[in-house]
């Protein structure tokens, strides 16, 4: 079995102690940094932008997984490549020409991800799945950390896994929102490869211990 990936979401970090929190992830058993970029238009919240990402990348020693919650993401693909994103995920709902957007991300040397809101049907990816390196299934409505996990996510993972098998794609499945030790194992059993965890990691007093615990649950 390919190793499962834990990606702490920096959205829940202490922005006044960002370097400390980035170093914590470096030293932890986590695999990736998950970076949420929000524009206040596609989602009803604004997180942080390029200068903050640039400074995170300066200190981060693991894969940079950028989740764009912005309209018309094509405008910024080369900017995020230049900033050091390894994986760039755009929202299905924000792309008019998704196939073109995916090719543009790959042409910049990044892996291409597509995120689906909780209401968006897996079937919509059928004609483009073999072009996608990772599908991010939102298990909360995007925009905020600390929300309650949506149970229908398990059914969506299974449906997506079946589509990946049917088409021979090598797409990874990432789950984003409300991940804790209460659902981590079940998500992996259903077919997930990457678990994003924000509040569950950063609101803990023992962040390294929580990451170790999550990693052990999914290994
Ligand atoms: C939500 C973001 C998530 C968020 C997850 O829009 O995409 O990455 O940080 O936070 P938790 O783990 O607290 O639900
Ligand atoms: Zn995210």
Place of tokens 């030293």: 27
Residues 195, 187 contacting (CB under 8 angstroms): yes
Q: What is the pLDDT of residue 1?
A: 65
Q: Round to whole Å and give the CA distance between 31 and 37.
A: 19
The CATH number that domain 5-218 falls under is 3.20.20.70
Q: Are 92 and 115 in contact (CB under 8 A)?
A: yes
pLDDT per residue of the chain (219 residues) written in tens, 0 to 9 = 678 999 999 999 999 999 999 999 999 999 999 999 999 999 999 999 999 999 999 999 999 999 999 999 999 999 999 999 999 999 999 999 999 999 999 999 999 999 999 999 999 999 999 999 999 999 999 999 999 999 999 999 999 999 999 999 999 999 999 999 999 999 999 999 999 999 999 999 999 999 999 999 999
> Which of 196, 201, 207, 211 is the best mutation target for the ligand 1 pocket, counting ligand atoms within 8 Å of the beta carbon and taking the most?
196
Report which bound ligand comes closest to the CA of 145.
Answer: 1
> 187: buried, middle or exposed (CB in 10 Å: 19+, 13-18, 0-12)?
buried
- What pLDDT is recorded for position 2? 78
- 180: CA distance to ligand 2 center in Å? 15
> What is the structure's pLDDT at 90?
99
> Ligand 1 pocket test: which of 198, 203, 207 has the largest number of ligand atoms within 8 Å of its C-beta?
198
Tell me, yes or no, if 176 is annotated catalytic. Answer: yes
What pLDDT does residue 3 have?
A: 86
Q: So where are the chain's domains? A: 5-218
């Amino acid at each position: 079995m390919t190793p499962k990936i834990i990606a702490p979401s920096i959205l829940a970090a202490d922005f006044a102690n960002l370097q400390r929190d980035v170093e914590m992830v470096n030293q932890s058993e986590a695999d990736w940094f998950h970076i949420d970029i929000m524009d206040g238009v596609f989602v009803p919240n604004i997180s942080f932008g390029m200068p903050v990402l640039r400074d995170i990348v300066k200190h981060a020693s693991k894969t940079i997984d950028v989740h764009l919650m912005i309209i018309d993401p094509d405008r910024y693909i080369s900017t995020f490549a230049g900033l050091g994103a390894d994986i760039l995920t755009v929202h299905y709902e924000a792309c008019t020409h998704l196939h073109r957007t995916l090719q543009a991300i790959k042409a910049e040397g990044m892996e291409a991800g597509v995120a689906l809101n909780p209401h968006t049907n897996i079937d919509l990816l059928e004609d483009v799945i073999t072009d996608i390196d990772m599908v991010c299934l939102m298990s909360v409505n995007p925009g905020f950390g600390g929300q309650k996990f949506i149970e229908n996510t398990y059914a969506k993972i299974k449906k997506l896994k079946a589509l990946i098998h049917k088409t021979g794609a090598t797409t990874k499945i990432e789950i984003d929102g409300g991940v804790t030790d209460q659902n981590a194992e079940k998500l992996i059993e259903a077919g997930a490869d990457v678990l994003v965890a924000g509040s569950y990691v950063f609101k803990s007093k023992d962040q390294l211990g929580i990451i170790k615990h999550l990693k052990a649950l999914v290994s």
